[in-house]
Structure 1
């Protein structure tokens, strides 16, 4: 249904996982792109330390909670244990397989430290519309795809965020085995999209026939969540090198973005 974008940017000292999902509007059919996972092996500090890092994207829908994508060092021979899944595969179970515009579907997303060292995590969320041929549909606003952010402690990087992209940081050290609070709780397609129709009226033998056509038949909406992690050692330098942002770190390990 869509091509999952390839993420290979070569940033230092991070690893990234990507969960992506696509829902087709026409006929409310559902399809899901494969979630991809990439490890950046060019390390910021000690290679041994980076090999202990791990992170998991966790999704809770109305059907329950599950790990979507993860990658963790297996402990020997530079081997990695990874799981690749997809977001939103259970979303339409709430409405018998049909997409209902204006409905708040449960979509609670969080991040878990599944590695062996403490870390800082960042999430980047992308929303877009695409036509059947894969080209971007620019006449539909990404804001019509409403992934509701919980505002429960996550920092939004307003300078790095756009209409299509939202950048979030968890400001505290994410300790081994612990999870962040959810950064989203529901997903909704704005009900106004159902009004985007064209009516065509014909008359034959005195009988008028009006045909209503949805203007965006075959258009799909795309939601991607990228998660990457950085070790806490030399945090300010590591984060600057990996993510390109300046931060301050207090005595408790809490981050503040420097604008």
Structure 2
């Protein structure tokens, strides 16, 4: 009897605003840390030289960019998400929870509000997204009792939009928006049995695919926050009088 083993092939993917990602020794998937600054769309009383933001993972800076002057960045660093998820010689295990605390640090010179967009997907060996495989099986446990809020009307099973509702001061960091990541163990039950010439083959639905988790960070100034957020992100929010907190409408 021949049994086809379930596998997650190794892939290296070139990612926007971040280095390529490879989970060494596991082949379980990849991720990106994309840093974008939609606040540059808002020009009224904007000091872009002061904008800066860093994405953190388990307390360490993964990627960061600080705006120096129009069309120029300085202090840019590029890293990889999930690169330290597995220990040496450790094999990836579906159903196991791995530490994955994602946060944001204000590395600029003015207070900002931040938004993070998490996108989950399954891709084949050529990097093509498979829309029939469920992103819900990629389980990132979100924390929303610490200032983070999920915009349900902007989110889908594949994409989750989170806003930190408090201003992030210069040099300050948000609490983590997540704490663990796991792949639901039910992927091992998605199997088809084929019998041919006295040989039994088991083919898994997710065979040949890798999971991907993308994290995109946006920052806007707190000054004139309501208008800045509307211009930059296209959403309406309520802003406190002292412009230190926002709430979703």
Question: Shorter-chain TM-score: which interval?
Answer: 0.7 to 0.9
Q: Deviations over 1:45-103 (max 9, x none)?
A: 345x221111110001xxxx321110114589955110111110111227x33210000
Match of 1:93, SS state, is coil
Counterparts of 1:1-259 in structure 2, within 5 Å, are 1=11, 3-4=13-14, 6=16, 28-30=26-28, 32=30, 35-39=33-37, 41-46=40-45, 49-60=47-58, 65-73=59-67, 78-93=72-87, 96-152=89-145, 153-203=147-197, 208-252=198-242, 253-258=244-249
Total equivalences in the alignment = 236
Shift of 1:230: 0.3
Match of 1:223, SS state, is strand
Q: Structure 1 residues 79 and 201 mapped into 2: Cα distance closer, same or farther (>3 Å)?
A: closer
Quote the residue 2:7 is aligned against. none
| Structure 1: stretches of 5+ with no match in the other structure | 7-16
Instruction: Give the Cα separation in 2 of the matches to 1:237 and 1:39.
Output: 15
Q: Which moved more, 1:36-45 or 1:236-245?
A: 36-45
Q: Structure 1 residues 58 and 221 mapped into 2: Cα distance closer, same or farther (>3 Å)?
A: same
CA RMSD, 1 decimal: 2.8
Match of 2:100, SS state, is strand
Shift of 1:43: 4.5
Shift of 1:35: 4.4
